[in-house]
Amino acid sequence: MNILPSVLKNLIDKLTILPGVGPKSAQRMALHILQYKQSQAIALADGLKACIDNIVTCDRCKNFADANPCKICTDSTRNQHVLCIVETLSDLISIEQTGGFQGVYFVLSGHLSPIDQIGPEELNIPTLLSRIHSEPIDEIILATNATIEGETTAHYIVSHLPDQIKVTRLAAGIPIGTELEFLNTNTLFHALQERKEVAT
């Protein structure tokens, strides 16, 4: 017998779409929200709605932003000739937090995964390649995760790049199977600074 009100059950179901949140965690979160002061719960809902209404995707790099193009793409102090390719926005944020990169980005929003029917088109790779061919890019940093899927994605991108572009990969120090967002800032900073050139 389900003793939960239908609107509460609906909230729990919606929370399970979040990564790493199962039914039990979703129920705990929903009940916690209901125990807030009403003003806090409404502020949370308003904050979520404000993001949905105002956050856009940058056409150039696929970063989330409040303007299109985003602040990184329009920053004249950044090196527009060095392009760092990352899997997720979390990876971009992790690299930015190192303070060690002053180029620009492209966010794939995932990695190649034939079993999940995620191919180049789903990752905007054609858009990425078009950008690379139309802009004066001198170096591409492949900052995909050190996983099988991340390596496969990096290899696919390299196989479609012009020969004259320098391609580098984050240096050793990142354990195999590790996702960038879980690395400490110091490790990621050194991996970025000591990146290695990739044969194309």
Contact 141, 84 (CB under 8 A): yes
Contact 195, 171 (CB under 8 A): yes
Measured CA to CA, the distance from residue 93 to residue 105 in angstroms comes to 11
pLDDT tens digits along 68-110: 999 999 999 999 999 999 999 999 999 999 898 999 999 999 9
Residue whose token pair is 């591409």: 140
pLDDT tens digits along 101-149: 999 999 999 999 988 889 888 999 999 999 999 999 999 999 998 888 9
CA neighbor of 154 nearest in space, from 128, 117, 185? 128
Which residue has better confidence, 2 or 80? 80
Measured CA to CA, the distance from residue 184 to residue 86 in angstroms comes to 17
Write down all domains in the chain, each with its CATH number in brackets: 6-54 (1.10.8.420), 71-197 (3.40.1360.10)
pLDDT tens digits along 156-190: 999 999 888 999 987 655 565 666 676 667 777 76
